[in-house]
Structure 1
Amino acid sequence: MSQAAFQAATDVSRETLQKFVIWERLLNDWSAHTNLVARSTLPDFWERHALDSWQVFEAGPDGAARWADIGSGAGFPGLAIALGLADRGVADAQVYLVESIGKKAAFLREVVKETGAPATILCQRAETLDPALAVDVVTARAVAALPKLLTLCDPLLKTDATGLFLKGARHGEELTEARKYWTFDATVIPSRTGDGAILKLKNVAHV
């Protein structure tokens, strides 16, 4: 997928597209010395990472302004969501990028500095987050299997937040396993970039 194809698929402004270009450049530069994503995926930035993350933003509830992205890594999907919120002019937008690894957190700070994305980096583990950090949506990609992921996100989900979790082809099995320990309302949104899905969860509670 090209830059132009990504812009056509998302309808972002030219200004926002350039912020994604900056992100891609920094990702390539930093990947020479820091393990941010699998290097084999770098040439496929626009679909494998950018569009894959953007679809999470599109799946969010109308008007959702405060998001928390658990295990942000190189910013997928959290940074794309922040750029999306800015592009669409969402008032009081804020995305908390939660990343415990210092080098990755440093990378996120650099991207936020250069793009002006409405994001705050929290260099800590998800389970140490302040329960008072009220958000509308909690997201994660490639962090943990769903039962464990819900444990990590539970303090944030308790405030009636929506969970939006990118999962692979075995998302059905993860849902089945998670229901042994949790109750929730689930909507499965087929992925635009592969055979996975976005799991949209509401009313999450421990059994």
Structure 2
Amino acid sequence: MSASREARLVQYAALIRKWNSAINLVAPASLAQLEQRHIADSAQLARLHPDPQGPWLDIGSGGGLPGLVVAIFHPELPVQLVDSDRRKVAFLQTAIRELGLANCTATAARIEELPPADAANLSARALAPLDRLVPYLDRHLAQDGTAWLMKGRNWQTELTAARRNWRFDAEIHPSTTDPAAAILQISNIRHG
């Protein structure tokens, strides 16, 4: 890992710790394990997709996990963070500025009200069940785009439920930070 990337990740962790009591960016009980439970977890996307092309959209960004971490790992990649909570977007805008991430923007908006993004990549972590996320993927991904969804212990149940109304290709990547969790790589989304 480059020294500048490592320095930015350390600075990002410090910003989360500084702001967390006011905004609740991550669960207070998980703050002690911030680097492993949240930042290393989000960094898995950089390992799974080491050379992403085209714009990246992170929905329900919250404290920037995983989108801000993706922007740190890929400083040449345009990354848009979206969250409906204006306080969290204020944090994200501060973090983007302090980390010097010229490739990254943060927008306060509801996902369903955002104009279609035509994103090559879309990420979400701990946002909503998969059957509720797929319509957002359908709206915001480019036709040949890929979604990278970080899902917890119920990912298999969520996958089954989403396939009742949607067709898509799904590649399952086991999480390296939680053996019960997975990263779902979803593409070729179509209704029915």
Structure 1 length as normaliser, TM-score?
0.88
**Residue 127 (1) aligns with residue 116 (2):** no
Residue 104 (structure 1) aligned with residue 88 (structure 2): yes
SS of residue in 2 equivalent to 1:33? helix
Partner residue of 2:34?
Answer: 45
The CA distance in 2 between the partners of 1:181 and 1:51, in whole Å, is 33
Secondary structure at the aligned position of 1:155 is classed as: helix
CA drift of 1:158 comes to 4.8
TM-aligned CA distance change 1:61 to 1:28, over 3 Å: closer
Q: CA RMSD in A?
A: 1.3
Q: 1:161 is matched with which residue?
A: 145
CA deviation vs aligned residue, 1:33-68 (integer Å, no higher than 9, x gap): 222110111111111111100112222374424100
Q: Which residue of 2 aligns with 1:34?
A: 23
**Counterpart amino acid of 1:57?**
A
Q: Verify: 1:172 aligned to 2:156, yes or no.
A: yes
Give secondary structure in 1 for the equivalent of 2:22: coil
1:131-177 deviations in Å (ceiling 9; x for gaps): 1x221101100110000011122211253210110001221111111
Correspondence 1:58 to 2:47:
yes
Higher normalized strand content (fraction of residues)? 2
Indicate the residue corresponding to 1:200 in structure 2.
185
2-structure distance, mates of 1:112, 1:100 = 17
CA distance in 2, matches of 1:65, 1:15: 23
In structure 2, what is the equivalent of residue 191 of structure 1? 175
Distance 1:143 1:63, change over 3 A: closer
* Change over 3 Å in CA distance of 1:206–1:84 after alignment to 2: same
Amino acid at match of 1:40: A
Q: Is the 8 A contact 2:120 2:142 kept in 1?
A: no
Query: Hey, what does 1:73 align to over in structure 2?
Result: 62
Contact 1:157–1:204 (Cα < 8 Å) also in 2: no
- Write the distance in 1 (CA, Å) between the matches of 2:147 and 2:50: 10
Specify the SS of the correspondent of 1:73. coil
Cα separation, 1, equivalents of 2:104 and 2:63:
13
Query: Could you list the runs of 5+ residues in structure 1 that have no partner in the other structure?
Result: 1-11
- Residues 154-202 of structure 1 show CA distances to partners (whole Å, capped at 9, x for unaligned) of 2112532101100012211111111001000110000010020000011
- Partner SS state of residue 159, structure 1: strand
Number of residue pairs aligned between Structure 1 and Structure 2: 190
Percent sequence identity over aligned pairs: 37
Please report the TM-score for the alignment, with normalisation by the length of structure 2. Answer: 0.94
Partner of 2:4 in structure 1?
A: 15
Q: 1:61 to 1:180 in 2, by over 3 A?
A: farther
